[in-house]
Chains A and B, each alone.
Chain A
């Protein structure tokens, strides 16, 4: 994609999603100033076709933007809203303007939905269609996790459906998982940068701890896992807004599994300061844990992918994987 576009997006996030602003949103601060700035930027319409006022970009085009969202611990569903606007737009439904989360109501209430507490709408997979709800109309619950903006949804019941649109072949969970995978990968890269920088500054035994081989080896592992997570996210973003489920499975399995190892190494290297509220690391590692569980954890996706693999006619793993990556 155009690096100017990415640069201006990163600049915008640097202004509207500073650590102080993330903390303010988590504390229940106003959404509107941040959301207005994002709306006015036009980036929320990146995936909307040009005839509807969008930029007409493909998901793979905006992959760097999705990574940047994770790298800034953005507390609002920016990528989800981009996807929702494109899906609604494709069905000629006007989008609601506010922050939209993606949810899966097929088997009753699913898991926690990050950022839903500061969102206005949910676009939900109902099994036979996608339905748009106002979150205020839904039965919701905040489980009381410190700092989390996630909501649990109760039974939909007779909550009014503001719109019904065709369901993508893979449903909504696949695209939600791909978006989440990109957030994880972006946050992983940021946490790696923070941890490497800290290891270069923190002096113990008369030298930076980053000069200790034991610490270097841990940071190398962290870099490897961050590289793998980023590639898995790119694979996820390579198949558009209706990704084949196997693509989503690769993306979310690998990123979710990497998320925890990356968070753990980051905290191990930072020591006690990383546990403190005032230090920014926790903004990212708390999210890595939340995002890892959202939209299906590593084992949920692994079980699906394993079933598809065992049912496929491909004798060799290379052929099966080529089928995922090349189609």
Chain B
């Protein structure tokens, strides 16, 4: 297991993507306040996504014949790292670019690839993930939403919840039951592409503790799905979802969710000319941890580049990364509040409060800490 993480250097041709992307972001994000940047891959800005698509920064790993750039996962790492470091509001294209596109490429039909991938690469087609249900969170195999075969396709009934950006997105890739019952567990599950504007689909945004509506509940009532909306094999949904989750868990967004806050705090320390021993020790500790996490993230990217599905490695990275992301607001809040003579800018205070409030979600979304550790334990041969 340990040997699966090797030190890799990002290829020069991929590093070259940084400078022009930085310029685009500097223009597009000018004036965007820190507390909005801190929302990053929860922030929705379709105009940015279309601009990134037009400039060739999306669909980087997709083949050219589907509108992609046919580049390696390292190229995507560089682009994603730049977007997150800048706090770019990337939610519109995020899930489509990260996992729906690769899923359709791997498991979809040629017609599905032709229909969906070019729009994803242009930053125009947005996807959400239909996994959680009111009774199915970590126990994903217990999903009850059900698609029954009918003439010309399927009829979908059920409900999804905690679906990020469902109210803004064009399509959902939903994991639903196509045979058997919830007692059959992983057997009998399938994935469908659901048109979010189809009759019978109702979306109700859910307000979160930070005042945003970043997720929603989604109801399906006799929603007709064409035969061509089944992704991959009927009944193979579980294996496909796990392949998809490897993409979902392996990216640098699992180490950079609080990066805007970290950089804002360091800017505050510099402005305050504070460099005493305990301050420097905290800055150094966080820098060392982040440097190691970044190298681990590049190492997981290398496994993706080798064509593997690094399920265990991605779980290790995500659990380490989210622990770091969650520690940041805790440590920074303690630091600022133990220096009452300094007056941090309101924008820093707002950013800190937002990250502190939303931080519990870091180790829920994409698989809880306990589920990830169970996957790691399986990788260790314990279960």
- Point out residues on A near B: beta carbons under 8 Å: 60, 189, 192, 196, 199-200, 210-211, 213, 215-217, 219-221, 223-224, 226-228, 230-232, 234-235, 238, 249-250, 253-254, 257, 298-299, 301-311, 315-321, 324-326
Contact = CB atoms under 8 A, between A and B. Distances in A.
A221 B373 contact: yes
B264 to A, nearest CB: 10
Contact of B280 (A217, A223, A302, A320): A302
B288 A211 contact: no
Contacts of B372: 220
Contacts of B280: 302-307, 310
Interface in B255-291: 256, 259, 262-263, 266-267, 269-270, 275, 277, 279-285, 287-291
A324 B290 CA distance: 11
Contacts, number: 171
B244 interface: no
Contact of B316 (A227, A235, A254): A227
A317 B373 CA distance: 28
Given A224-B376, A231-B296, A200 B382 contact: yes
A53 to B, nearest CB: 29
Given A253-B284, A309-B266, A220 B294 contact: no
A215 to B, nearest CB: 8
A200 B283 contact: no
B380 interface: yes
Interface in B325-383: 370, 372-374, 376-377, 379-383
Interface stretch (B3-11, B131-139, B177-185): B3-11
Given A309-B283, A310-B270, A316-B263, A228 B380 contact: no
Given A231-B7, A302-B285, 5 more contacts: A210-B377, A219-B382, A234-B295, A306-B280, A310-B283
B299 interface: yes
13 contacts: A196-B382, A220-B373, A227-B2, A227-B316, A228-B320, A230-B5, A231-B296, A232-B291, A253-B289, A306-B287, A316-B263, A317-B85, A321-B294
B217 interface: no
Interface of B: 1-2, 5-7, 9-10, 15, 81, 85, 256, 259, 262-263, 266-267, 269-270, 275, 277, 279-285, 287-296, 299, 316, 319-320, 370, 372-374, 376-377, 379-383
Nearest to B296: A231
A226 B277 CA distance: 28
Task: Give the residue among A196, A227, A238 with the most B Cβ atoms within 10 A.
Answer: A227
Given A217-B373, A223-B316, A317 B285 contact: no
Dominant SS at the A interface?
helix
Contacts of A231: 5, 7, 292, 295-296, 299
B320 A224 contact: yes
Given A189-B2, A219-B382, A309-B266, A303 B284 contact: yes
A326 B319 CA distance: 25
Nearest to B380: A196
Contacts of A298: 285
A304 B277 CA distance: 9
A227 B297 CA distance: 12
A239 to B, nearest CB: 11
A230 B282 CA distance: 22
A220 B283 contact: no
A228 B320 CA distance: 8
Contacts of B5: 227, 230-231
Nearest to A305: B284
A231 B321 CA distance: 14
A51 B292 CA distance: 36
Nearest to B294: A321
Contacts of B288: 232, 249-250, 253-254, 301-302, 305
B7 A309 contact: no
Contacts of A217: 370, 373-374, 377
B291 A220 contact: no
Given A226-B2, A231-B295, A238-B7, A306 B283 contact: yes
Contacts of A232: 288, 291-292
